[in-house]
Structure 1
Amino acid sequence: MAPAIRITTRGGASPRENKNSMTQSFQKVRALTGMKDVLPDSSAQWEALEATVREWLASYGYRNMRTPVLEQTRLFARGIGEVTDIVEKEMYTFTDALNDEQLTMRPEFTAGMVRATIEHNILYDRPQRVYAMGPVFRHEKPQRGRYRQFHQVDVEALGFAGPDVDAELIVMLSRLWKTLGLNDIRLELNSLGQADERAAHRAALVAYLEQHKDVLDEEALRRMYTNPLRVLDTKNPAMQDMADNAPRLFDFLGRESLDHFEGVCERLRDAGIDYRLNTRLVRGLDYYNLTVFEWVTDRLGAQGTVCGGGRYDGLIELLGGKAAPAVGFAIGVERLLDLCSQSGEQAAQPECQVYMIHQSPEAQRLAAQLAESLRDAGLRVIVHAGSAGFKSQFKRADASGATVAVILGADELAARAASVKWLREQGGQDQPQQETIALDRLVTELKLKV
């Protein structure tokens, strides 16, 4: 519970002085840095994208899973990796004062979804295709497309081992980009092999890095022994030649890993999806193996990754479950909305379809009754609140984006009719600018025409 705000005033102060004192003593509260409000006009685009995403996922058999925002901190330290940037520097972690337990606001979805999978034993009888949408939290430097509270669409195929499902996820994403009209997102692909192959590569890579300490920056020196693969993911221009010439994990892959990777590539070629082999692509989390991929664009500046994912066959067992393969991806919603807004002007969603204008208390009561009947017919309706002149009400009706204004004045009440003024064309059909419709036909007429 938030602490109460105590405001004191001098004895004998007048009510007006008390009010002024209260106003002056309270500082305006603003949103936290890196956490943004989504206002109604923008929210319409969010809802439209979410609806498209749900339909797209359902077409591939994916079902919704919802996990808590708060989890035990050890879930992420174990699942993501204690030496990753997320766990070391970016998690919102606190001690629950009631039971002295370390809790963390989820920095990503996968660990929590795997925890729920194990806890509820949902892989007992069959593999599962699941997804989640919602906020995640990381204490990063806010910049374009990267916030401290941001949103993801997270998709997980749990219990599937073959390259066919890896490829299906990538093909799914290609379909989504086409549905959204995004044609400049490109695919980068790599394989991280299996644990023994990564161990052999790690030894060679550490030896290589030790020979090039003179060009390593402070971050690379810190990671050299704890997470050397991430050193190759550097954005430091002074380290690019060193990273380009480092031992490639791809060259340490055995036959089985190479066959899995070729199986993915073969299916992508079947689907006509172009990709680039990026042997430095490692992703930022410890749990990946075999296939990893990113969809990237040049239209978002430095934050060019729109979607990333891959296979994580060891995570379910690592978190205490029965060993089972898994593969998935996450999409950054804010970045995707940014791309969609660049691809075309996003019209604001109308507040309603029908706006009820009235002239008297009696007309307002009738308008409220008619509005309920119109809503029963599936129309979105606003009844003008309070009393105002016709000019003011028409101005508000137009601003609402309504297709029609239904007018109930003294003449209309006497005639048991409503005047209907068409504010916008509907469905490409020309409508009369204004017409009179009997009240007993109003719902039927508007349902057909709006």
Structure 2
Amino acid sequence: MDEEDRKAITRNLLSLVHLTNLDSLVQKLVDKNVFSERMVQKYLDAELPANQRKRELYLDVQLRGPCAFRGLIQSLVETAQYQVARILVLRPQPQRLGVAMEPEDGDTPDEAVEHRVHPFILPFPLPGLHQGAVSTRLQNLAIEENEVVNVGREPLQVEVKLASQRMDVPSKKALAVYRMASRPKGLFLLINNIRFDNGEPERLGAEVDQNNLTALFEQLGYQIFAYQNLTLREMRRQIFEFAQLPDHSKVDSCVVSVLSHGHAGMETNLVSTDGCSLSVEWVISQFKNEACPQLQNKPKIFIFQSCRGDERDFGVVPAIRRLHRVSSGRTQSDGVAMSKLRTYSDMLIAHSTLPGYVSHRDIYQGTWFVQAICKTFMHHSHDTDIEDMLKMVDQLLADCFSENQSMQTSCYENRGFRKFFFNPGLYVDDIRIV
């Protein structure tokens, strides 16, 4: 579908939902091969609210190819829904589309041209917030699997700001800091499951996440190992083999990221393309000190983008209105003999959402979480510790609302992890830091 046609649908979505007669429209869309008989069954399901079914139809039609908009306009006209068609097109455009539209009562030919767009109107304000700010915010968020209002379709351009001085030096408070000066800085494993064989929906927009993370970590100085659409057996093999790579002994860090659907039971599980579950804890265990001696005493960072359940976070109205959000970190203490290495240490584990909750994904720009990581890391990794950056990531997520007003909270776990700076652009063999 043409970009301007998509914008017309997205910009006027609430008006289209309010005015459309769904029952008469659906069969016409089938007749014009915009949808198949099987595809339209969900729009006819009387157990679902009518507005929800209409909204899903208009969002889905944007993905139905270059002729879908023309078929939509023709269907609206042939079912006498002229006002809805007028919202989407100028009066001269139906001639281009081969559609004749009837004028509304009282229209002259010149006046009819002006009936092209209805303003974007929110059905109700979010409690506790100014309506104007919320309207702008909702208009600038992306449609994610029929639930988030579109922010545009251009992917993020990742450009990392390089460091001018090394930050991996002890602080005045004597906090231990990881050395980060090797070339490459580390090895980065990325597994991105997009399409599934077991009926799980395709993760539209996941390719953008992969491109963004690859660009980010290449600019941060990492060697990339990227894989797509792996079965359970393939996921296990690639993760195990990556953990055993001898080159880990030559670099200063390691990053592992898995992007997929996810389920929550007793623990968080990632879904393979053949519909099996892989425990997040199994992934992490491949890098514990006994299993991966090449990475002992080196920072190991895990980034998991997946749902961790089905619950949606709709937020709460604060008892006292606050002007600033404050994120608190997590502290841990472990008591072991100093002559031994702990089983798990030097690990930082970041999750896109809380246990039990869904994780939002924009079909054009990728997941909220990966977008926030890339935006934060590219601007702040030159002088900011990674835990502070993960707090910044969650602050970005705190300003995201879906169309049905659901939100998202990221989290991370520190398992014996010290201060860590990426030092982008600075290496031990660089004359600038010798």
TM-score scaled to structure 1, two decimals? Answer: 0.23
TM-score scaled to structure 2, two decimals? Answer: 0.24
Higher strand share: 1
Higher helix share: 1
Higher RCO (C-alpha 8 Å, min separation 6): 2
